[in-house]
Amino acid sequence: MMKMYDLAIVGGGPAGLSAALYAGRAGLSCVVLEKLFFGGQMLKTSEIDNYPGAPEIRDVFSFSESMRAQAAEFGAEFKTEEVVEVRENNGIKTIVTTNGEYRAKALILATGAFPKKLGVPGEEEFAAKGVSYCATCDGAFFKNKTATVVGGGDTALEDALFLSAICKTVYVVHRRDTFRGAKHLYNRAKNKENIRFVLNSTVSEIVGENTVTGVKVKNVKNETETLIDTNAVFIAIGSTPDSGVFKGFVKLDKYGYVITDKNLQSSVSGVFAAGDVRQKTLRQIITAAADGAESVYNVQKFIFEH
């Protein structure tokens, strides 16, 4: 007979790992299903310096493994399997994977999101060596240096403003001459002496040796190419939630993020979302972990009431 879990968690990043820990401590039977590596997107950074109480995490793999092991000590089960379908019938959640099926009273969706990439030479080569997709995560590493932000939305403008308080000079490269970001953000950025706009331009290549030393930009109107000397390139052109398998199961917004209420519950009763896959303002390790903890608190209430 198929085992019935109290809780199934899809996704093994910081949100899923935190949820597993809190579920185990609450005495809930719990299984975490992750298609790749436990740790999620944080494994793609070489260093973490903004997690409270752990200011210099230089071995991110060991850090994520300690999160998994801590949850396992409290009874959480971990399976490396890709989820291909999720369904609900009479309150029971069935999660179909490449290896089988799992049943649970409640479900947490914690599959995260992936930053959109430019797809230019040097981007992959210098990832975590000057190329970053999160200014609030990595900006402090470039104090009093030069940084370049690529993008024209709210995130790009917010990143530029954030970096302007840290860096000597901040360039903003945008393919148009107008910004889709909020006007008040643009006005604030325009009035910053150390923010310089490079408009009607796209990045053609990120260059460097061991780390980033410059970015080549091409003017889209006259096709001239120039080199900007910079120590970092922050790419802020959006992110893509890993929510495809949930389409048609829970309500998603137009960008594909799971819509949740104040209790992190989705449009389906007993199905919650935590971390970067849901609609939220700040996507960081600490906010994902907080979501994981809060979602389990609400799972407990749901199971008790049902």
Task: With beta carbons less than 8 A apart as the criterion, state whether 283 and 113 touch.
Answer: yes
Query: For residues 234 and 41, what is the distance between their CA atoms, to the nearest angstrom?
Result: 16
Cβ neighbours for 246, distance < 8 A, ≥ 6 positions apart: 86, 109, 111, 252, 258
User: What backbone phi and psi angles, to 5 degrees, belong to 257?
Assistant: -80, 145
Cβ neighbours for 222, distance < 8 A, ≥ 6 positions apart: none
Query: For residues 55 and 48, what is the distance between their CA atoms, to the nearest angstrom?
Result: 7
Listed in sequence order, the DSSP H helices in 105-153 are 135-138
Choosing from 134, 159, 242, 276, the catalytic residue is 134
- The owner of tokens 């997107």 is 41
Going by their DSSP bridges, the two strands 131-132 and 113-115 should be labelled as unpaired
Q: In angstroms, what is the C-alpha Rg of the chain?
A: 21
Token readout for 116 is 């959109």
**Exposed, middle or buried: residue 27 (CB in 10 Å: 0-12, 13-18, 19+)?**
exposed
Choosing from 6, 30, 138, 261, the catalytic residue is 138
Q: Is 134 labeled as catalytic in the residue annotation?
A: yes
Q: Is 30 labeled as catalytic in the residue annotation?
A: no
Return the half-sphere exposure (C-beta side, CA atoms, 13 A cut-off) of residue 281.
1
Choosing from 49, 59, 137, 276, the catalytic residue is 137
Q: Is 137 labeled as catalytic in the residue annotation?
A: yes
Residues marked active site are found at: 134, 137-138
